[in-house]
Amino acid sequence: MIIKAVIGVLCAAVVLAIGIVIGHFGINNSSAPSWLNDVAKDVDESLIEKFLAEVDTIHIQENLRELTDVPHMATTPGDEKTVQTMLRRWQDADTGLDDAWREEYNVYLSFPDPNNPNKVTVVDAANTVQHSIREREKAYTSDQDDPEVVQPYAAYSPAGHAKGKLVYANQGKPSDYEQLSQTLNLTGTIAITRYGGAGRGAKAINAAPYGVVGVLVYTDPLDINDGLMSDTNETYPHSWYMPPSGVERGSFNRDFGDLLTPYLAAKEETYRIPPENIVGIPPIPIQPIGFEDAYILICALGGDAAPSEWQGAFNCTYNYGGPGFKPTSEFNNSDVKMDIYNKEVIKNSANVMGVIRGSVEPDRYVIYGNHRDSWVHGAIDPSSGTSVMLEITRVLGRMVKQGIWRPRRSIIFGSWGAEEFGLIGSAEYTEVTSYNTEQYVHLIRNVYMFVVQVNAPGESSTSVYEAWKLHSNRTSPTHGVIPRLGYLTGAGSDYAAFVHYLGISSIDMSYTYDRSKTNARIYPAYHTAYDTFDYASKYIDPGFVSHQAVARTAGNILIRLADSLLLPFNCSDYAEILEDYLNTAVTLYQQQLEAHKISIGKCKTATDVFGDAGEYCNTQHTGRNIMPLKVRRINDQLMLLDRAFLDPLAFPDKYAFRHVIWTSSSAGKATFPGLADAFAQAESSGLDSDWDKVHYHLSVVSQAIEGAASTLADVI
- Nearest-angstrom CA–CA distance, 223 and 518: 9
Greater model confidence, 54 or 633: 54
Amino acid at 171: Q
| pLDDT band, residue 3 (cuts 50/70/90) | very low
What is the structure's pLDDT at 389? 96
pLDDT in tens, 649-686: 999 999 999 999 999 999 989 999 999 999 999 999 99
Query: Lowest-confidence range among 190-194, 576-580, 612-616, 670-674?
Result: 612-616
Greater model confidence, 343 or 505: 343
* Best CA proximity match to 476, nearest among 360, 570, 349: 570
| pLDDT band, residue 566 (cuts 50/70/90) | confident
% of the chain surpassing 90 pLDDT? 76
- Nearest-angstrom CA–CA distance, 602 and 610: 12
pLDDT in tens, 454-488: 888 877 778 888 988 888 899 988 889 988 888 99
What mean pLDDT comes out for the span 216-232? 97
Alpha carbon dihedral 24, 29, 35, 39, in 10-degree steps, equals 50
Residue 437: pLDDT over 80: no
Ranges of H-type helices in 55-149: 57-67, 77-90, 142-145
Q: What is the mean pLDDT of the chain?
A: 90
What is the structure's pLDDT at 402? 97
- Nearest-angstrom CA–CA distance, 155 and 227: 28
Residue 16: pLDDT over 80: no
pLDDT in tens, 167-195: 999 999 999 999 999 999 999 999 999 99
* Best CA proximity match to 454, nearest among 553, 587, 544: 553
Task: Mark whether 683 is an active-site residue.
Answer: no
Is residue 556 classed as helix, strand or coil in its secondary structure? helix
What is the structure's pLDDT at 448? 57
Residue 547: pLDDT over 50: yes
Q: What is the pTM (predicted TM-score) of this model?
A: 0.92
Hey, what domains does the chain have and what are their CATH numbers? 7-104+355-447+489-563 (3.40.630.10), 113-341 (3.50.30.30), 451-484 (no CATH), 571-712 (1.20.930.40)
The three-state (H, E, C) secondary structure of 569-625, written as one string: CCHHHHHHHHHHHHHHHHHHHHHHHHHCCCCCHHHHHHHHHHHHHHHHHHHHCCCCC
Residue 589: pLDDT over 80: yes
What is the structure's pLDDT at 31? 61
Residue 199: pLDDT over 90: yes
pLDDT in tens, 626-654: 777 788 788 888 878 999 999 999 999 99
Greater model confidence, 327 or 452: 327
Report the b/e string of 534-551 with b at 16+ CB within 10 A: bbbbebbbeebbbbbbbb
Residue 442: pLDDT over 70: no
pLDDT in tens, 279-299: 999 999 999 999 999 999 999
pLDDT in tens, 64-116: 999 999 999 999 999 999 999 999 999 999 999 999 999 999 999 999 999 99
* Best CA proximity match to 651, nearest among 620, 623, 672, 628: 672
% of the chain surpassing 70 pLDDT? 92
What's phi and psi for 286, nearest 5 deg? -140, 145
Contacts of residue 344, defined as CB under 8 A and 6 or more positions apart, other chains included, come to: 108, 109, 110, 156, 275
Residue 37: pLDDT over 90: no
What mean pLDDT comes out for the span 542-559? 94
Catalytic residue among 137, 361, 419, 420: 419
Residue 15: pLDDT over 60: no
What mean pLDDT comes out for the span 222-251? 97
Beta strands in 45-165 (DSSP E): 99-111, 119-123, 129-132, 154-155, 160-164
Give the strand pairing for 154-155 and 250-251: parallel
pLDDT in tens, 387-400: 999 999 999 999 99
* Best CA proximity match to 707, nearest among 644, 649, 662: 644
